[in-house]
Structure 1
Amino acid sequence: MAHATQVSRSEFAGTRAPLIGAVSRVKETVTQWAQRRRTRSHLALLDDRLLNDIGMDRLIASEETNRTFWRA
C-alpha cells in the first residue's frame, strides 16, 4: 500500500515561488508591450510641430511607430 507524503506549508510555498515569479515576469512583459503599443500609436497621431517639440521628425516617428511592440 502506498503512503501519501505530507508536505508542509513552507515546502509547498517554496515549490510555488518559481511559478509565481515566472507569472509575474510574464505580466510585466505583457504590460510593457501594451504600453509600447499605446505610446507608438499616440506618436503616429502627432503633427509635425509636436514632433519637432519632442526632437523628432516625421521619418523618425514613422520608423518608431512601425516597430513591433516587442522591440524596445
Structure 2
Amino acid sequence: MTHTVLSPSTIGAPSCPISLESRLGGVVDLLTVWRRRAVSRRQLLAMDDRMLHDIGLDRVTAWDEARKPFWMA
C-alpha cells in the first residue's frame, strides 16, 4: 500500500503563508470600505429631493440604500 504525502505544492496551496501584515492590511481595507458605506448612506438620508435627483435617485431608492447594513454592498 502506497501513501501519498500532501504538501502545499501537491494541493495547490501557496508555499508561503500569508503574512500578518498582509492580513491586517486586508482587515483595515475592509473596515475602511464599511466606514465609507455607513457615512455615504447617512449622507443620502440628509439629501433633499433636488440633490437626490441630481445624482439620479429618488427618495424611495435612497431610503432603501440607506437602510442596508454597512456590511452589505
Query: Structure 1: 5+ residue runs without aligned partners?
Result: 1-13
Per the alignment, residue 51 of structure 1 pairs with 52
Query: Structure 2: 5+ residue runs without aligned partners?
Result: 1-15
Residues 14-53 of structure 1: pairs in structure 2 closer than 5 A: 18-53=19-54
- Percent identity over the alignment is 36
Q: What's the CA shift string for 1:48-72, capped at 9, x where partnerless?
A: 1110111100000000000000111
Root-mean-square deviation (CA), in Å? 1.5
Structure-2 separation of matches of 1:61 and 1:37 = 13
- Offset at residue 27 of structure 1 (A): 0.3
Per the alignment, residue 9 of structure 1 pairs with none
Higher helix share: 1
Structure 1 length-normalised TM: 0.75
Larger RCO (CA within 8 A; separation ≥ 6): 1
Structure-1 separation of matches of 2:36 and 2:54 = 22
Q: Which amino acid aligns with 2:60?
A: L
Structure 2 length-normalised TM: 0.74
Q: Which amino acid aligns with 1:35?
A: R
SS of the residue corresponding to residue 68 of structure 2 reads coil
Per the alignment, residue 65 of structure 1 pairs with 66
Structure 1 segments of 4 or more deviating over 6 A? none
